[in-house]
């Protein structure tokens, strides 16, 4: 029988790591909920003094996951990213992708020794690229100082402390061990991976596929079609990932297929809900405006479609969703054509 690894208090990552979260949306709030299980204090950079004051007054985020209450002694709130980065060893980025550039542009402190963890599942519009490349190219934060969080893990279920699973992708074993220590709890199980880009791209792709699943639902397609749709989607995901970045990976693992399934089927999925509205007849613009959260798949579809075209990839679902979102094509007609291409 293998001996248990004994970790002294001085070497326990839960005791030594100072962790902060940037963002105040639903997933950022869920991440704070995870971290307070292990960290004595979680630093939290929110977007405005109003949000900061409301959390300090009520003990919960006034806009997202209001059922998740916090002991204020476990939080150190700020609106200054430099204050948070300076105080933390690990910085979890959990803003919508469209706002990340504006947020990090304000970062002027020394961050050379920090670990940046991306919980963002979208493309950075300014550079038309994923967060991992954006941090590397714009801020000289190498992959050894990066990690990516993948699901399947809906924020709403984390708030209810329902058992959820995270995959944390990072190339450094020591970093993986530290992050596993601060995120694991009775209701969060953590697995690790070295496939940073694969996990990040798969999290982006599943949002686009979820929009498609939502459109199908809005149009009246049933569970039988959705099952075929998702089985084709995971094959498209594998084709795209292999063309972008070859690495040892099994797309049937939870970080890939599991995250796709929950995003395509769950009523909590904002991307599925966006697609559902479009399928029911809303214009793309009105569907987006009717939502109070960012559906990352909408912004990602443009970039992913163009990348696939550059690499001459045949991805019928991606092409169909793009045509509806960006070319103004009729959803019913496009899906009728798509049904002939799926198997």
Number of neighbours of residue 188 by Cβ within 10 angstroms: 20
- Which residues on adjacent β-strands are paired with residue 146? 116
Catalytic sites, residue numbers: 206
Q: Output the CA angle 279-157-116, nearest 5 degrees.
A: 95
Could you check whether the bond before residue 154 is cis, i.e. omega within 30 degrees of 0? no
Quick check: 215 and 279 in contact, CB under 8 A?
yes
The phi and psi torsions of 60 (rounded to 5 degrees) equal -150, 160
Please indicate if the annotation marks 227 as binding a ligand. Answer: no
Smallest CA-to-CA distance from 275 within 334, 194, 337, 231 is with 334
SS3 state at 192 = strand
Quick check: 149 and 168 in contact, CB under 8 A?
yes
**Burial of 71 (C-beta count, 10 Å sphere; 0-12/13-18/19+):** exposed
Please indicate if the annotation marks 271 as binding a ligand. Answer: yes
Q: Output the CA angle 140-177-158, nearest 5 degrees.
A: 95
Quick check: 149 and 28 in contact, CB under 8 A?
no
DSSP 6: P
Quick check: 272 and 210 in contact, CB under 8 A?
yes
Quick check: 45 and 80 in contact, CB under 8 A?
yes
Q: How far is CA 119 from CA 93, 103, 122, in A?
A: 6, 15, 9
Quick check: 192 and 180 in contact, CB under 8 A?
yes
Written as six digits, the tokens of 239 are: 């084709």
Please indicate if the annotation marks 270 as binding a ligand. Answer: yes
CA–CA separation, 314 and 168 (whole Å): 30
Binding residues for substrate are 121, 270-271
Binding residues for NAD(+) are 155, 270
Binding residues are 121, 155, 270-271
């Amino acid at each position: 029988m293998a001996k248990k690894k004994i970790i002294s208090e001085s070497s326990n990552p839960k005791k030594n790591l100072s962790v902060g979260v940037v963002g105040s949306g639903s997933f950022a709030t869920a991440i704070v909920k995870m971290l307070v299980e292990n960290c004595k204090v979680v630093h939290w950079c929110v977007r405005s003094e109003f949000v900061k004051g409301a959390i300090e007054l009520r003990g919960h985020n006034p806009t997202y996951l209001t059922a998740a209450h916090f002991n204020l002694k476990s939080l150190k709130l700020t609106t200054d990213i430099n204050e948070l980065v300076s105080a933390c060893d690990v910085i979890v980025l959990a803003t919508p992708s469209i706002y990340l550039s504006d947020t990090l542009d304000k970062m002027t402190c020394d961050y050379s020794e920090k670990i940046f963890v991306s919980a963002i599942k979208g493309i950075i519009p300014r550079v038309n690229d994923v967060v991992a490349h954006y941090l590397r190219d714009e801020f000289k934060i190498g992959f050894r100082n990066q990690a990516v969080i993948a699901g399947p893990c809906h924020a709403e279920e984390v708030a209810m402390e329902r058992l959820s699973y995270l995959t944390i992708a990072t190339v450094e074993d020591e970093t993986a061990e530290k992050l596993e220590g601060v995120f694991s709890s009775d209701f969060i199980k953590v697995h690790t991976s070295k496939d940073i880009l694969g996990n990040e791209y798969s999290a982006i792709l599943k949002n686009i596929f979820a929009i498609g699943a939502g459109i199908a639902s809005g149009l009246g397609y049933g569970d039988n079609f959705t099952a075929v749709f998702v089985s084709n989607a995971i094959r498209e995901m594998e084709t795209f990932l292999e063309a972008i970045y070859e690495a040892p990976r099994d797309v049937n693992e939870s970080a890939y297929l599991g995250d796709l399934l929950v995003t395509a089927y769950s009523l909590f999925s904002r991307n599925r809900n966006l697609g559902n509205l479009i399928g029911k007849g809303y214009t793309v613009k009105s569907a987006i405006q009717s939502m109070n959260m960012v559906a990352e798949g909408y912004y990602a579809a443009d970039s992913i479609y163009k990348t696939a075209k550059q690499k001459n990839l045949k991805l019928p679902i991606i092409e169909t969703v793009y045509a509806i979102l960006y070319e103004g094509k009729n959803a019913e007609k496009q899906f009728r054509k798509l049904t002939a291409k799926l198997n």
